[in-house]
Amino acid sequence: METDSLVRRKLLTPAGQSVVVYELTELGMGLAAPLIELARWGMRTLPPTRANRTFRSQWLVLALNARFDPGAATGIHESYEFRIDGDVPVRFEVTDGNGIAGIGAADDPAVVISADADTFLELTSGAITPGEAAARGASIEGSPAAIGRMRALLPIPAASARLARTGWG
C-alpha cells in the first residue's frame, strides 16, 4: 500500500520512544468511507475485553472515526484525548460538524481518558460504568458538559441497558 501511495509512514516520538505509524495519503483517503463502514459493521460483534489479544492505541483511530456522529457535532469545536497503557495517545478533533481521529496528543483537550486497555475497552463498550473504571485506576478528566458532548459525538453502539441507567457521571 505504501508503494501504491495509499499510505505513508510517519514517525512519532512520544515520551522517549519511537513509534512508526501509517496514515492514509490523499489518494488513500478514498478508502476511508468503505473502511469506516466495515468498522461500523464489525463493532457490533466485538467483545468488550481483549481476552489476551494484543491491543495498540493507534487502532482506535478507525473505531473513533466509525463511531463519530456528525449530526451531534454542529457548532462544537473541541478535542478529546485517549491514553491507554502508556502507548502513544490518540486524539479526536471536532470542528463544527466535522470530526477526525489521529495519533498523538490533542492540543488543549476538553476530555482526557487514561486507562489500561481492558478498562478502556470495557468502558467504551458500555460493559462498565465510569465509576467502575475509576475504581480500576482509570482517569476521566473534563467537565460534565464536555464529557456529555463527547458521549454524543462518539456514541456507544447498542449501549447496554446498564450504561443507559447509570450514565457517565
Helices (H), strands (E): how many in the chain? 6, 7
What does the pLDDT read at residue 159?
A: 43
pLDDT tens digits, one per residue of 32-81: 677 766 665 665 555 555 566 676 777 788 888 888 899 999 999 999 99
- Torsion sign, CA atoms 159, 146, 78, 110: negative
Cα 71 → chain centroid: 18
Residue 63 CA to residue 75 CA, distance in Å, equals 23
Instruction: Specify the CATH architecture of the domain 7-166.
Output: 2-Layer Sandwich (3.30)
Residue 27 CA to residue 122 CA, distance in Å, equals 35
Q: Is 56 helix (H, G, I), strand (E, B) or coil?
A: coil
Residue 14 CA to residue 99 CA, distance in Å, equals 23
DSSP secondary structure letters along 3-35: TTTSEEEEEE-GGG--EEEEEE-TTGGGGHHHH
The residues with which 101 forms a beta bridge, in sequence order, are 92
DSSP secondary structure letters along 79-143: EEEEEETTS--EEEEEETTEEEEEESPPSS-SEEEEE-HHHHHHHHHTSS-HHHHHHTT-EEES-
Q: What element of type H or E holds 78?
A: strand 77-84
Reading the chain (169 residues) residue by residue, the pLDDT tens digits are 888 888 788 776 665 566 677 777 888 777 767 776 666 566 555 555 556 667 677 778 888 888 889 999 999 999 999 999 888 899 999 999 999 998 889 999 999 999 998 898 888 888 888 999 999 999 999 999 999 999 899 887 654 434 444 454 4
